[in-house]
Amino acid sequence: MDRKQFIVATGAGVGFALFPGLVQCQSDSLKAYEKITSKIVKDTEGEILNVIGDIQTHKLIGSDTGNQIVEWVDNVAPGVGIPPHVHSKEDEIFRVIKGKVEIMVAGKSTVLDPGDIAFAPKEIPHGWKVVGTEKAKMITTAFPAGIEYMFEKLAQLPAGPPDFEKVTSICAEHGVHFV
């Protein structure tokens, strides 16, 4: 039984008849839901981007999730990190899988070990850096999606020391500002 048949069969259709304003909302939601399909991404799969030394493997992007989330795996050498910055559009979750990552959120720094997570809401300054002697593997989730377009632009910059003016300009276009 598909979703629309389920709604009718369960009597939800009567609710829509009594509250016609809900019909349009539900109809739009159903259309968005129908565009999303399941996806399985293996550890070795995904689009790899070198975002100024942050080696990201994008696993899920907005077009996969109805623009709800984007998720990538950071594989980063010791000493590499992202300086403090603020997102105006998306929240982020960081989950360390391997290595140690020092993360700063809202002025408080903490070293995350494997299994630890941090949440950085939009409008709150945060940044991170791999500490210790081993590479770190971290899963980062941002929601809503859209930030992947910024990463694609940053990955197209020439190799070598980044042009910070160009980096800040690209980030600002996507609502990310360094502090």
Tell me the per-residue pLDDT of 99-129, one tens digit each, with 9 for 90 and over: 999 999 999 999 999 999 999 999 999 999 9
Q: Of 12 and 56, which is predicted with more confidence?
A: 56
When comparing pLDDT for 161 and 131, which is higher? 131
Same domain assignment for residues 55 and 138: yes
The number of domains in the chain is 2
At 35 the pLDDT is: 73
Confidence at residue 49, expressed as pLDDT on a 0 to 100 scale: 97
Question: Is residue 41 included in any domain, yes or no?
Answer: no
- pLDDT value at 23 more than 50: no
Q: Is residue 99 part of a domain?
A: yes
Query: At residue 18, does pLDDT exceed 80?
Result: no
**8 and 90 belong to one structural domain:** no
- Whether residue 103 sits in one domain with residue 24: no
Both 85 and 146 in one domain: the answer is yes
Rounded to an integer, what distance in angstroms lies between the CA atom of residue 46 and that of residue 43? 8
**Per-residue confidence (pLDDT) for residue 25, from 0 to 100:** 47
**Is residue 103 located within the same domain as residue 148?**
yes
pLDDT band at 161 (very low <50, low <70, confident <90, very high): confident
Task: Give dist(CA 76, CA 99) in Å, integer.
Answer: 9
Predicted structure pTM score: 0.80
Residue 42 lies in a domain: no
Domain membership of residue 129 as a residue range = 47-178
Q: Which amino acid is at 145?
A: A
Mean per-residue pLDDT for 21-39? 60
Please give the average per-residue pLDDT across 28-42, as a whole number. Answer: 73
Residues of the chain above pLDDT 90, percent: 76
Contact 83, 171 (CB under 8 A): no
Q: Domain check: are 99 and 159 in the same one?
A: yes
Q: Both 73 and 99 in a single domain? A: yes
| CATH number, domain with residue 126 | 2.60.120.10
Same domain, 92 and 16: no
